[in-house]
Structure 1
């Protein structure tokens, strides 16, 4: 009996030790998770929340000189923000400034300071966001036979004193003026810095709202002359020197070529969250170092001179 009892005790002890060994093996490896620990751990601290995606719509109206840049930048911005819609329209700087002032658009694009087109009280309500600089040049049909005009010669053309290119050393052709409307910032800039005076709309001159249409007409109309932002220049037209100076980015930046303007994007008061995000994008390296240069504008940071609302140039 003693032997039997001893044998039973040994068997029980063996079973207990085996069970303990199995438990120890489990605890040394991957232990079974408790219900509380089975949920995946959050990678975002409780105090932080994911950034909200931008959404909504913007309407930017005004300058046709600035149109190519804003259109290209808006497409890139919308590609990165699928919930955003941006519509860009031309119509002239005066139109853009009036519409943003009256709340009809979110952004007013302009080649001129708001004070040059709006009453002082309305201009004071707008916030100026300068996104680039643009040069402007007189352009002609390729067969007029001239490549340079002085300030006085331009004045004589746009005031009707000279009506044939032969009087300026060119071919025997009637001068056909392709002008911009009075609301145009391109016209205001050209008159202020190339002519030094305002000009009247002469009988027989053609007036067009769009810079693209001006380029087309000048390239197709014998004897035509107009003026365009450098961002619109191509081989279909001839670009004239001004007082012997070529209209180039470098000459604008160093102050040698005087016919240029800041490109403004005005908001009424401080911009909304969406408008601010888009304006910040306009000033980003992605746009300033690529699109601005590619389209013939000049990053404001490259300008070696500054100009105030009165046209005064400083270094």
Structure 2
């Protein structure tokens, strides 16, 4: 009988120990699961939702930077870095995934080495471009033929096109520049510019043209914000929102913001903001660009112009 009682007590003791161990194990497992969940929620994913990098076209930089500044004033958790570097860099960097949005003055299809099918095009504005001339040249209007002759080196003195007796100094952008590609395609009708000074930045082009007697370059309209350079008319037509929107002024391009695949998170929110009435009706024209809603014509990647 004593042996039986002892056996029962030992069995009961073992049962209690087993239950306690099981409860402790479950409690520990649940705690570990909660800890893991907490870690994943506070990791790098949150940072990617509140910080993006935008880079590419220097012609687009003033517009995108101004919009980013205003967006961040209303969304204090957002961090939007806006860099330049040229359209080619913007397209290649967004394709490789090193930036979130790649800005370009040209269609992705026009850039060698870019898989346009992997990118999504968001057209956020239109940029007009024209020749920027040093005031000492004494010229504010060129025919399309004269423009081509000047940039291909057929004309080397401003007196040959109605200006002062002064040597012409050409200031170009590099081959990777979307501004150059647009100006060559629609301003020079595909003619290759002669060699001259080559600068990566539109800001630097403006400075050199303004400081160098007889210099000529080409810039987006947003850079003609003082009298240090002359905004050239082409065939007597001034580059304005109205003449670009109607198709009367020929040198313009869409401002493309490309994403790799469909935009998500902060990138999508910012792109939606760029196309909002708030931006299109104020920031876009204030920065010297043409709102998408003002365009009465449209172009495809081949340059074909049609009515909307």
Q: Normalising to structure 1: TM-score of the pair? A: 0.80
1:226 Cα offset (Å)? 0.6
Partner Cα distance (1:220, 1:189) in 2:
25
- 8 Å Cα contact 2:153/2:194 also seen in 1: no
Aligned to 2:301: 309
Q: Determine which structure has the larger helix proportion and give its number.
A: 2
- 8 Å Cα contact 1:54/1:81 also seen in 2: no
1:56-106 per-position Cα deviation (integer Å, ceiling 9, x unaligned): 211111001110010011111112222221111111111100110111111
Aligned to 2:146: 153
Aligned to 1:74: 68
Identify which of 232, 238, 254 aligns with 2:246.
254
- 8 Å Cα contact 1:98/1:118 also seen in 2: no
Identify which of 254, 263, 275 aligns with 2:267.
275
Aligned length: 261
Identify which of 188, 192, 200 aligns with 2:185.
192
Q: Which runs of 5+ in 1 are unaligned?
A: 1-51
- 8 Å Cα contact 1:127/1:270 also seen in 2: yes
1:2-33 per-position Cα deviation (integer Å, ceiling 9, x unaligned): xxxxxxxxxxxxxxxxxxxxxxxxxxxxxxxx
1:225 Cα offset (Å)? 0.2
The answer on 1:295 being equivalent to 2:292 is: no
The answer on 1:131 being equivalent to 2:124 is: yes
Q: Normalising to structure 2: TM-score of the pair? A: 0.82
- 8 Å Cα contact 1:54/1:84 also seen in 2: no
Identify which of 197, 217, 232 aligns with 1:226.
217
The answer on 1:211 being equivalent to 2:202 is: yes
Partner Cα distance (1:293, 1:147) in 2:
23
1:159 Cα offset (Å)? 1.5
1:198 Cα offset (Å)? 3.9
Alignment of 1:2-21 (within 5 A): none
The answer on 1:177 being equivalent to 2:166 is: no
Identify which of 94, 100, 116 aligns with 2:88.
94
- 8 Å Cα contact 2:49/2:265 also seen in 1: no
1:195-223 per-position Cα deviation (integer Å, ceiling 9, x unaligned): 00141451xx1111111111111111100
The answer on 1:285 being equivalent to 2:277 is: yes
Aligned to 2:53: 59
Aligned to 1:166: 159
Which one has the largest radius of gyration? Answer: 1
1:55 Cα offset (Å)? 4.4
- 8 Å Cα contact 1:55/1:81 also seen in 2: no
- 8 Å Cα contact 2:158/2:165 also seen in 1: yes
Deviant stretches of 4+, over 4 Å: 52-55
SS at match of 1:129: strand
Aligned to 1:10: none
- 8 Å Cα contact 2:167/2:214 also seen in 1: yes
Partner Cα distance (1:195, 1:207) in 2:
17
Partner Cα distance (2:245, 2:49) in 1:
37
Partner Cα distance (1:55, 1:82) in 2:
13
1:252-284 per-position Cα deviation (integer Å, ceiling 9, x unaligned): 011110100000000000112110001001111
**Cα–Cα, structure 1 residues 54 and 80, in superposed 2: closer, same or farther, change >3 Å?**
farther
